[in-house]
Every structure is written in C-alpha cells, then in structure tokens.
Structure 1
Amino acid sequence: MSQDDTAATVDIAGTDGTYRLRARYVVGADGARSVTRKLSGIGFTGVSYDRRTTRTAHATVPATWVDPTTGALNVPGYGPVLPFLSHRTEHGGFSYAPFPGHPPLVSTTEWDQPRTEAPMSLDELGASIHRVLGADLPLSPPTGEGPHVLRRLTGGNTRVAERFRDRRVFLVGDAAHVYAEGGGPGLNLGLQDAVNLGWKLAAAVLGNAGPELLDSYETERRQAAHRMVVNAQAQSALSAPGSDVTALRELFTELLGHPSTVQHLADLTAGTDIRYAMGGPDAHPLVGRFVPDMELSTPAGAVRLAELTTSARPLLLDLTEDASVAQAFAHCHDQVDIVTAQPGSAAPAVTALLLRPDCYVAWATALPHPDPADLDALRTAAQRWFGVTEPARCEPEPLGTT
C-alpha cells in the first residue's frame, strides 16, 4: 500500500488473482489483526491479559435439565442457570446459550489456569465446569451438521491504535480498538466509528469539506475508544473471582438501585455519553451530544425525530412558533434538510437545533426568538461541518426534507 497527495494505492490478492486499486481514501475495517493498520505503520498499544482462560464448546446437555418455560439449565447441586447470560461464581464464570437450530454453546472462564498444549476436549470443559459451579454437567458431543466450536482461549487484549488516520487511510472497528470484555459495547463502538466517518468521507469526496472535517474523525472516535477502555477494564475487574470482588459487586448492585447510576452506565455502554467539541461556544447543553429522540407535531401529523434523520443528511429542526430560524437560515435545501415543527410534551428545552448526519448536535438554542449572535453561531456551525457558505434563495417547507 502506498499514498500520494491525491490517492492511496493498494495491491489486493483475491480469489480471481491479484489486482491494483487506486482510491481517494482507504478504510481499514479488517479486524484486530488489521493488515491495513500494519501496512500503515500504526502501533496498537494497550494491555494483554494472560490470567484468563476461556473454554467454549457446542455440546449436548441432558434434555430433562432444561426448563421448557424459562429455558434455564437446572444443574443439580448448583441450581438454575438462565440462558444467554454470563453467570459468575467465586471461582469463575459460566454461560449456557441454546441457539435455535444448533446445539447449545457452553462456556467457562477461569483465572490463573496452568497453560497446556493439549488439544481441547469436552472432558476438559466438564472439569472446568465442576471447578466453577462446584457441580457436574454431563456433556455429550453435539448433534447435527457443523462446524462445531471446541476451543480454548488464553488471555485477551485491550488495545487502541495509536492513530485512527494515516493521511488517506482510516481505521474503524476492531482494526482501531479491541477489548478483552467484548460483546455489545465493542460492536456499538465499531458501528459508530463507521457512522462518524461515513458522512465525513462523503462530504470530502463531494468537495463539501475542508481537511479539518476528516481530522475530526480521529479526535472524536479516540475519545470514544478511551471511554470503552474504561468500560472494558471495569467489567473485567467485576467479573474476576474472589470474595473481595463479590463484595465490590454487592456494593455495585446497591448503586444500580439509583436511576441516575443506571442511566449513566446505559449511556456509557451505548457510547452516547460522549460530548464532542463542536468548535464554537457550547451555548446549549445539547451541543456536542447525541440528540435524544423526541415526538414532534407537524401539519402532517405526529412524527419522531429519529424518522427525520434517516436520510443521513444535515438537519435543521426549527421548533420556534413562527419558524424564524428556518426563515433566517440562508442555506438551500440541497445542502441541509430543513424541518419546521412543534415539540411534544416530553421534548427537551430547545427551540432549534442543527444535527450532523450522525445525529450529534452541532448547534442548538433555547431562545424563543434567536438573536443575531445565535444565528451567526448557526451559520458558523453549518459552514464548519457541512461547507455551507452561500446564502440561499429558497424558503423552508412547513414539514419534510428535500
């Protein structure tokens, strides 16, 4: 792979042979062992955990031990284990996942296990289950067509790329960050990388963005990646065995009784607790944040804000009584969608806002009639994020986007 001032060139080996591709930009979404990242000379720093061993296998369990109502696996000598949930004990972790149409996936996690080069087996998994649960779970080979999982993984990594951009090359998803405690939050993070970068690349290709717009990708998403590192390391600490961790979990459970704590952790897990710097005064608390959904009243009927963002275009939402912001906003509909509406009863205290295509608020006001300074800030935000510079000669529609 090579780059120059106008494009990046990559040599690709595929099923039909090798070929060369030249493109304005290259996005590496090629996983934790990203070739794109390595060829770009980008380091992948972080922490390797070598204390944890995870054993996973498709296996047949006694059918009479499965509760037909709840799907729980009732292990004699231990009790019910609900499906698809990570179950921690003082000695490790256990999970049981009966995917439809497939044999159940059974897994254990233990700490400080001796290393072995022996092939993984169901007997080894059964012995691990006994140590974790203090009870035996008979395991038989899986039925049906494979491939079937039978693996042992030792250790894990929490790593973040030193850079998310190398000139015309960008990294997203696992190519940019991996976490020892993976799953939903890590998937969420990768998808939001793509949403953040996609509209910026489109603007750059169309000539509607300056170089600082693409620079904002790394600034914003490395911030999000750091938050996920905090999340991953905290989860790892709470899942470890030992009575001290059990005490910490009991205290943590008490904290989860407070709605504000639950909301904070939900936002962290979803990745919506991030506040991006929008390059201007944060005159409204929504500026830089992921916009909350709200119900809006329009001449055409009720509509949710989420429904108005499906075009993945910039959106100016005017909630003033006289549509004064839309009237004063000198930008054409071919650059920014403009919608006028009235807020529902549960809407936040806002009278107008400008949304980026990734649904982060670039500008907002709570003034019933925004003053000239507010409108100047709006024009500045539109120019910064969407390259809007010329005044329009068009009137906004009462509802709808173009």
Structure 2
Amino acid sequence: MTARLAHAELGFGSQERAPYAVDPTHTRGRLKPEPDSPTRTPYQRDRDRIIHSTAFRRLKHKTQVFVYHEGDHYRTRLTHSIEVSQIARSISRALRLDEDLAEALALAHDLGHTPFGHEGEDVLDVCMADYGGFDHNAQSLRIVTSLERRYAEFDGLNLAWETLEGLVKHNGPLTDRAGACIGKLAGHALPQAILDYPAHDGLMLWSWPSAEAQAAAIADDIAYDAHDLDDGLRAGLFRLEHLKDVPLLGDLLAEVDSRYPGLETPRRIHELVRRAITRMVEDVIGEAQGRLQALGPLSADNIRMAQGAVIGFSPAMAAAEAGIKAFLFEHMYRHEDVLCVRKLVAKVVRDLFDGFIAHPHEMPEEWACDLDDASTTTLHRRVCDYIAGMTDRYAIDEHRRLFDDTPELR
C-alpha cells in the first residue's frame, strides 16, 4: 500500500522536508492494509497508537536506574522516553527530517523493557537461554506486532513499515547481506522475538535504518547520559566536585561556576545538565550536516544503503561521551547501593519466573489460557512475556502474593 496524501491537507509546517527524509506520502504500508487518514500522516497515527498503548502507560512504573518508590523525581522509563522524544524532534527539525517518525520511534524504543531495568532483562535472558533468550529491543517489536491486543481487526498496533524498521534496527544493521548476525549479535542468532514476526525478512535487517531512527537512537544516548547524571547527583551517589576531571562535564561545570558564583546546588546541577544536553545536540547536528553533505543522499534509501551512520557524535564528542559513560558506570551503575538493590530485584524476577513455570494458572486467565497442552517453549515464552510486561510495583506485589520472602527494597 502506498499513501499519497497532500501535505497541505495534513497540516505540515512550512519547513521543506529534506530529500533524504522519510516521505510519509510514500510509506511502504502496514502488514494489514488500512484506509489512509484524512488528517494524519502514517507516522502521526503510529505515534498516537504508541501513546495510547497499554505498554506505554506501564512505563510510568518501570525503573530507569532507581526502583519506583525511591523518589518522585527520578526518571522512569516513561519520563525518559518523553525526554528522548524531545531531543529526537530537535535533531530532526534541524536536519529537516520527518519529526513525527522520529518521535514515534523515540516513544516506542523502551516498550520492551522489563521491570527493574537491565537487571530484569538479564535475569529473563538467563531464564530463556534454552528458548531463544530475551532482548528488550526485540521485545518492543513483539509488543507492537503481537502482544498489544486492543484493536478489532489485528493484534499489535499495525504500525507502518518505516516505524517497525526503525524500532528493530535503530542502533544499526543486525545482519550482513547473507543473514549472519553482526555487531553485538555477532556469533548469535537473531532474537526470537524478531524471528517470530512473520515479515521480519522484509525489514532489511542488513541495512542502516532511516535518518529518523538514527536521530532517535542518538537522542537516547544523550538523554541517558544527561539524566542519569542528574539523578545520580540528586541521589547523592556522587557530587559535583567529582565531575571536575570528567570530559566535557568539568569544563561545563567551570563555565557555570564562573558565570553564576555562589549558585545553590540544585541550580548548579540543572545548569550543568542543560548545557550538557545542548552541547551534545549541537555537536550531533553539526556532525550530521557534514556527513550528509559528504554523502549527498537524494532519498531515504540512500541513507539506508550508506556505509555507516549519518547521524552521530563527532570524534571529539564521542570520546567525551565515552568518558561520561565510564564515570557513570563506576560511580552510579556499580555503586554499592544500586548493586545491592539489583541483587534483590533479581531474586524477585527469578522467583516469579520459576513460580509461573511451575504453576502457570497463577497468571491471569488471559495469560494462562490454552497452556494445558502447550509445548515447553510456548509456556516459557508466555511466562516471559507476562513478566516482561510487569511494572516494578506489580512485580513486587505478585511476588508478595506468591512468596513469603519478598525482599525489602528500601
């Protein structure tokens, strides 16, 4: 299906879209064809479906780094996704991309995350080792193509091809032309959630994604760095003085202190974080403009067929960003308080998995139905899907319902 909707009819802004941007009037369509909307582009519809999905709402109580009850102002997956969306739109606007597609991808990129952040993902991956493993990026595809069951005519959200493509490979190609996994997947099979999607072969897993998907991916990195820095400082895991030798951050902090001597700590933190976001975004835009000029793409497919990403940090900023990540890894992600909680939540997820495998009818009826004669693989994947969709709070409540030794996470 090809949509050919008039720009004026859809209320586009006055800025002309770049020739290498994805064109919403020439989408490759949806797995199940639908009539065009007279008021929204395909990617505006996709964004709206994502926002109204159950999985998106659940992000409100899924951990970024801190467990949900540790404070009202720490990031959750929901607030993080909104912040990624803002950054992705800013980059896309400067590069004349389709902002709606970039926004949809930013809002959907964390839908597949488990409760308790990466610890929950690691536990489920171990539990599913003999059944295709678990990968949160692939789980996002599974959610939007199968697990969301709200529409009368199809499972999932029936998103446009360009949205699915960007969701699956926003971090780059997954395979080479021969189908062998590359990058982080090298030596492994494609995640089972991707293999289960009947049209996965048509997503061009060997190519780069659109520039809009690349904008969402780099926006995710920027948001992670800046906001984990903010949360770590406010949680007292490290202090501003510890940042003086961290690339970029030390110079920015000196800039803040020079301009605003005697500024109170909360404002110093905010001024530092906002400057970090601005410098990274401006660096990405400048670097992308240079790469695009050198490549000279005339279509979105030229972006897909490029030899590398067209949107990314400059070499100097990439080195600085790696230094920021190294600092956060040592002082935040590996902080003894965070590691202590990670051990406790790993027990919650593992207990729930083993418990539901042994007693699947402890799950709600819509999850437990048809399992009496199901294969072992089907049972394990069903339990995995159920737990992966839980919020932190619901996982703890379920553990407390089923077990007598629920850990105290405070």
TM-score by length of 2: 0.22
The higher-RCO structure (CA 8 Å, 6+ apart) is 2
Higher helix proportion (structure 1 or 2)? 2
Higher strand proportion (structure 1 or 2)? 1
TM-score by length of 1: 0.22
Q: State which structure, 1 or 2, has the greater radius of gyration over its C-alpha atoms.
A: 1
